[in-house]
């Protein structure tokens, strides 16, 4: 069986397009609002939605998403609630949904139960930034069986060995972290991304989406030129709080830039 994410990338490839993958933290500021945002993402032409799960210690995230996580936790949003929220979303949208969660909530939930419940709820893929493929043998096996995509990360510092391992372990797409650092930092377009993405492509035909640090439509357009998809997180979360009226316009401008 082919996953909904793989189908999406195949379709885009045929159409000569690149994926637009916006991110929102579930439950920030409320799950009701998250539902509205996910629908808005769809209306603005998103291909896949990345849904953040709040965690007390979001190691890979910069200040913007850290604060979003704190707000969501304060509202009592948990991994369990996010999964059941996806079930609700499935009543109204078929857009592929990827959960981004840290490992300890998954560990506490139980890997097997997490995979089963996520799949049943309609989750399409999972990103766990603090679970390296080296430690994920079981997780990968079980999620493959359930046709739940497991998406692993590569960074500018990744060695060839690492690239081999991560491209093999990933399904759906490969998440290329554009910078050494945390979400929301400044993107550096100095040509090194080009080199690294070509290196990754030597090892795999799987789609590569780029995230961390993409914030302007111009950056999104440049990154789209090098990859199969662009993930935008902190910049969206920031707008959502600071200038919600501009969010729709911003999303559309990103969509138009990602070609």
Binding site for another protein (CB under 8 A): 55-60, 62-63, 66, 70, 73, 78-80, 103-109, 130, 132, 134, 155, 157-159, 162, 179-182, 185
- Of 63 and 244, nearer to another protein (C-beta) is 63
- Pick from 55, 21, 44, 38: nearest CA to 173: 21
Least distance to another protein, CB of residue 41, Å: 26
Largest CA distance in the chain: 46
- Of 135 and 246, nearer to another protein (C-beta) is 135
- Of 78 and 143, nearer to another protein (C-beta) is 78
Least distance to another protein, CB of residue 92, Å: 26
As beta bridge partners, residue 163 has none
CA distance 199 to 197: 5
- Of 64 and 227, nearer to another protein (C-beta) is 64
137 tagged catalytic: no
Which strand ranges, in their side-by-side order, compose the sheet holding 153-154?
A: 149-151, 125-127, 97-100, 49-52, 19-25, 229-232, 208-211, 174-177, 153-154
CA distance 39 to 11: 21
Q: Which among 28, 47, 61, 124 is annotated as catalytic? A: 61
Q: Which among 15, 43, 47, 50 is annotated as catalytic? A: 50
138 tagged catalytic: no
The dihedral sign for the CA sequence 183, 189, 195, 200? positive
Least distance to another protein, CB of residue 200, Å: 15
- Of 58 and 172, nearer to another protein (C-beta) is 58
Least distance to another protein, CB of residue 21, Å: 21
- Pick from 132, 182, 184, 191: nearest CA to 158: 132
Q: Is 175 helix (H, G, I), strand (E, B) or coil?
A: strand
Least distance to another protein, CB of residue 58, Å: 8
- Pick from 35, 124, 19: nearest CA to 77: 35
Show which residues are catalytic: 50, 61
């Amino acid at each position: 069986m082919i996953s909904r994410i793989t189908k999406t990338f195949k379709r885009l490839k045929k159409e000569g397009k690149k994926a637009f993958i916006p991110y929102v933290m579930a439950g920030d500021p409320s799950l009701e609002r998250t539902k509205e945002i996910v629908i808005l993402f769809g209306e603005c032409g998103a291909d896949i939605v990345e849904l953040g799960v709040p965690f007390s210690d979001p190691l890979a995230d910069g200040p913007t998403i850290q604060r979003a996580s704190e707000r969501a936790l304060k509202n009592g949003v948990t991994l369990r609630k996010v999964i059941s929220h996806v079930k609700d979303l499935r009543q109204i949208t078929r857009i592929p949904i990827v959960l981004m969660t840290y490992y300890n909530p998954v560990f506490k939930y139980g890997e097997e139960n997490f995979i089963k419940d996520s799949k049943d709820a309609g989750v399409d893929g999972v990103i766990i930034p603090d679970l390296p493929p080296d430690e994920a043998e079981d997780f990968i096996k079980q999620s493959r069986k359930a046709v739940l995509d497991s998406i692993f990360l590569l960074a500018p510092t990744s060695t060839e060995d690492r690239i081999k391992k991560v491209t093999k372990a990933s399904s759906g797409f490969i998440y290329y972290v554009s910078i050494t650092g945390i979400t929301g930092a400044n993107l550096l377009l100095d040509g090194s991304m080009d080199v690294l993405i070509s290196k990754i492509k030597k090892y795999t035909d799987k789609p590569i989406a780029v995230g961390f640090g993409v914030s302007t439509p111009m950056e999104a357009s440049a990154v789209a030129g090098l990859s199969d998809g662009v993930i935008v997180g902190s910049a969206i979360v920031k707008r959502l709080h600071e200038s919600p009226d501009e969010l729709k316009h911003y999303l559309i401008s990103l969509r138009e830039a990602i070609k």
